[in-house]
Amino acid sequence: MPSDDKFRDQVVALAVADARYAVAAYVFVREAVTYTAKQFQPANSGQRQHITGSQLLEGFRLLALERFGCLTVEVLEDWGLRHTDDVGAIVFSLVRNGLLGANENDSPTDFAGVYDFEKTFGSPFRTVSSGAGTGRERPPAIA
Q: Determine the average pLDDT of the residues in 27-45.
A: 85
Mean pLDDT across the stretch 54-73?
A: 95
- Sign, CA dihedral 45-49-54-60, equals positive
Tell me the average pLDDT of the chain. 85
Task: Output the CA torsion sign for 55, 56, 59, 61.
Answer: negative
Q: Is the pLDDT of residue 73 over 90?
A: yes
Say what the pLDDT of residue 124 is: 64
pTM, to two decimals: 0.81
Position 133 in a domain:
no
Range 3-18 average pLDDT: 88
**Structural domain contains residue 105:** yes
In a domain, 136, yes or no: no
| Res. 12: pLDDT tops 70 | yes
Phi, psi of 53 (to 5 degrees): -60, -45
Domain of 93? 4-41+50-122
Classify residue 69: in a domain, yes or no. Answer: yes
Has residue 21 been placed in a domain? yes
The mean pLDDT of 14-30, rounded to a whole number, is 94
- For residue 81, what are the contacts with CB-CB under 8 A and spacing of at least 6? 21, 25, 87, 90, 117
59 pLDDT band (50/70/90 cuts)? very high
Residue 90 resides in a domain: yes
Distance between CA atoms of residues 97 and 99, nearest Å: 6
Is 131 inside any structural domain? no
Please give the pLDDT value at position 41: 72
Count of domains observed in the chain: 1
